[in-house]
Structure 1
């Protein structure tokens, strides 16, 4: 497991600690109507083709673990939903209200984002703040955002993703380590810090 990097990404963001935290008080009532499985992998975001949701469906099928999708296809990417229709273990919730996002993250065993490219990847940090282990690809900004606190996937294939998810799902010590690293990593993403870093850029440009 990689050690976390001390610095935040060059494009700083903050996490709303009032929403994204580890306390699950009230989550059962909020999520009750969804009747979620006790253990599941969560994908949260638009179901864009570059995010490899069908690959994630295949990997979770191999592991026989439910996959919960919270998000809608981007324009022209309805084919993503067609590609996962054959997987009965996949539960597509569609777009979910903002109040459900953090409870979903806390309920998930793992949040996975096997994307070909991300400019940032805010769900990664938000899941970490909720104490949820994270698996991401090594593409785009994701490794930098993860900062050593996620299971980073260099082999972006169904087999590679299956192995990465299995490490987290089947190894309690691995999952616990990622939770601890993720909480520490998420704590470095504050809006105050983001504002200071942006101000430094504006001052540098003005000089």
Structure 2
């Protein structure tokens, strides 16, 4: 048998062995979804993704991260890591419903969120999650307005919302930003310092609302 023939036979054997070891996506997904092995789940959560050029491997890895993200046996630190770093909606949706508030808060701060997802988190029952979501640039103006009207939102978040269109996001739509600042002026949790600032707002409606509170 020639060297070339031997090499071909060896390559065929390696390919056959790899195929035998390869686990179908659905099987691996279910295994990870139900795994109670924190070390295995942590290792998978922290493993760098394949290069996007290898589309098959990349798609497989991102799909499997969804299973890891949704598994309560994945350590909280690793779920927070995924919530902070992943741009993939399928993974972030899983993490946005996580029972641990620190994980949901990390999702709320993720700049890769879809606006509907971060909008959902502006309604979270935990104030820290809700307030973080309201500060995310992905949050829609509708959600920002509702947040500015919410009497449970804290003064620090109201200071952020009350600066939109002036000190922050100067290119923001004037009418929408003005509506949010006016709502901040009317919110009972707005600090006296913020009210004083809004009393000098460039918008007449905002100034009048702030003056009525002083």
Please indicate, yes or no, whether the TM-score normalized by the shorter chain is above 0.5: no
Higher Cα Rg, which structure: 2
TM-score bucket of the superposed structures, by smaller chain: under 0.3
Name the one with the larger strand percent: 1
By relative contact order (CA 8 Å, sep 6+), the higher-ranking structure is: 1
Taking structure 1 as the reference length, the TM-score comes to 0.26
Taking structure 2 as the reference length, the TM-score comes to 0.25
Name the one with the larger helix percent: 2
